[in-house]
Amino acid sequence: MARRSIVWVKEEHGANEFADVDIWRGRLTAVGTAIGSYPVGYRLDYKLETRDRYVTSGLLVEARGAGWRRKLDLRRLLSGRWSVRTSARGDVDLPRPGGDMAAFKDALDCDLALSPLTNSMPVLRHNLLEGGGPVELLMAWVSVPDLRVLPSAQRYSFVRREGDLSIIRYESSSRNFIADLSFDQDGLCLAYPGIGRAV
């Protein structure tokens, strides 16, 4: 069992994130907080839970800023069907939270934007710390701070070992983005070029 507290600094995005993470018996749970400044100043609090094989069971997110607050409760049921409940209060120039669940009905994972944490689930499920890939995946990608949920096609491939680290190539066709991510032996992302690094 791995019980960790981790902090990521996201200098390019004017953001930071802290998370308490438990990884055990094919499951991951985490509680975290992120602070960001773009496109508006916000605080984000989340709780993530998975079932066996690190498959998402729920992501509860609350975002708030000056005069506004919104919540997202994203669930993947045992049947494989996704459901979402949202609320939004206050006046802020952001898209409405939520999305079309049918657009990512085959996804196993959620992916919280700007958070290196949610990259752990597919890497651990497919044993990519030691080799393998490419693995093609569809994610339920949660935009922040608006909390929209959108489909995101992604690919993960083992690249090499560097001491105690595994280098995994991440590709997002929906964002036309490629980066080599560094993971430790527990499967936590320590360096995500363009997003953030653990300190």
Confidence of residue 12 (pLDDT cuts 50, 70, 90): confident
pTM: 0.95
Q: Helical H runs in 69-164?
A: 120-125
Q: Out of 10-19, 20-29, 115-124, pick the least confident.
A: 10-19
196 forms bridges with which residues in the sheet? 192
Total domains in the fold of the chain:
1
Q: Distance (Å, rounded) from C-alpha 34 to C-alpha 26?
A: 25
Q: Distance (Å, rounded) from C-alpha 121 to C-alpha 192?
A: 15
pLDDT digits (tens, 9 = 90+) for 80-130: 999 999 999 999 999 999 999 999 999 999 999 999 999 999 999 999 999
32 phi, psi to nearest 5 deg: -145, 165
Q: For residue 72, what are the domain limits?
A: 2-198
Label residues 91-102 b or e (16+ Cβ within 10 Å = b).
ebebeebbbebe
